[in-house]
C-alpha cells in the first residue's frame, strides 16, 4: 500500500512538474536538460567550436541542449564536436557522434580515438547514476565508482584547462567525492540547480583545470 502511494505521489509530482511540461513544449527528451542549461548559463561551459563528451548520454536531453548551444539555436550544422557514450541505445541527435558500449572497454575507446584524432575534450559531462539497491553503503559505493571513472576518463581525454561536470548525491559518499575532485582539479564548485527537485539530494560538482594532466 505504501509503495503504491509513493508511486502515485511521484506520478502526480511528475505530471505537474513545470520542467516536465517545459521539456514537452520545447522538445527535450527529459527535464534534465534544464539542469544543464541552468549550470551552463551560470558557468559559461558550452561554447561553439568546443569538443564535448557526454558520458551516460541516454536518453539525450543534455546532448539536445548542447547541440542547440553549438548550433547557435539554428537548425543547421554545429560548430564543434559532440560525442555521446552509453551502454544503452539512444535515438540519434543530429550532429552528435554516438558510441554504444562501456567506455572502459578498448573497442569503445578505439571508436572514441577515431573521432577525436589528436584533439582533447574541452568539456566532459556526466549525468550518470547507478541503479539504486536501497542499501545506502552499496549505493554510495556505486555512485563513487561512477564518479571515479568519469575522473579517470577526464584525465585521459580532457584538455588541461578543461572542465568536468558530474552528478552526485549528498547522501552517497559526497564528502569523499568532493575530496577526490579537489585532488584532481584546481577549481571545484558545488551547484544545486533550481531544476533539481527540492526533495532530491542531487547536486552537481564542477571541476576546472586538471592538476595532473596525462
Q: What residues contact 74, with CB distance under 8 A and at least 6 apart?
A: none
Q: What residues contact 72, with CB distance under 8 A and at least 6 apart?
A: 48, 79
Q: Using alpha carbons, select from 208, 153, 210, 200 the residue that is nearest to residue 174.
A: 200
Residue 8 known to be catalytic: no
Q: What is the CA radius of gyration of the chain?
A: 17
Which residues are known binding-site members for S-adenosyl-L-methionine? 60, 62, 86, 102, 127
Among the listed residues 167, 183, 186, 199, the single catalytic one is: 167
| Residue 143 and residue 169 in contact, taking contact as beta carbons nearer than 8 Å | yes
Distance between CA atoms of 123 and 182, rounded to whole angstroms?
17
Which residues are known binding-site members? 60, 62, 86, 102, 127
Strands 96-100 and 121-126, sheet pairing: unpaired
Residues with catalytic roles: 167
Amino acid at each position: 500500500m505504501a509503495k503504491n502511494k509513493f508511486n502515485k505521489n511521484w506520478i502526480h509530482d511528475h505530471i505537474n512538474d513545470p520542467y516536465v511540461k517545459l521539456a514537452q513544449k520545447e522538445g527535450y527528451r527529459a527535464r534534465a536538460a534544464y539542469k544543464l542549461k541552468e549550470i551552463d548559463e551560470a558557468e559559461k561551459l558550452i561554447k561553439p567550436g568546443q569538443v564535448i563528451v557526454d558520458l551516460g548520454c541516454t536518453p539525450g536531453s543534455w546532448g539536445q541542449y548542447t547541440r542547440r548551444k553549438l548550433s547557435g539555436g539554428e537548425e543547421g550544422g554545429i560548430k564543434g564536436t559532440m560525442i555521446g557514450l552509453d551502454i544503452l541505445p539512444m535515438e540519434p541527435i543530429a550532429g552528435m557522434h554516438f558510441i554504444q558500449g562501456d567506455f572502459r572497454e578498448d573497442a569503445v575507446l578505439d571508436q572514441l580515438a577515431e573521432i577525436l584524432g589528436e584533439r582533447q575534450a574541452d568539456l566532459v559531462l556526466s549525468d550518470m547514476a547507478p541503479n539504486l539497491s536501497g542499501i545506502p553503503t552499496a549505493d554510495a559505493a556505486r555512485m563513487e565508482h561512477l564518479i571515479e571513472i568519469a575522473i579517470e576518463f577526464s584525465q585521459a581525454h580532457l584538455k588541461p584547462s578543461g572542465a568536468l561536470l558530474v552528478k552526485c548525491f549528498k547522501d552517497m559518499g559526497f564528502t569523499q567525492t568532493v575530496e577526490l575532485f579537489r585532488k584532481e582539479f584546481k577549481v571545484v564548485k558545488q551547484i544545486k540547480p533550481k531544476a533539481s527537485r527540492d526533495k532530491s539530494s542531487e547536486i552537481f560538482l564542477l571541476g576546472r583545470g586538471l592538476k595532473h594532466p596525462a
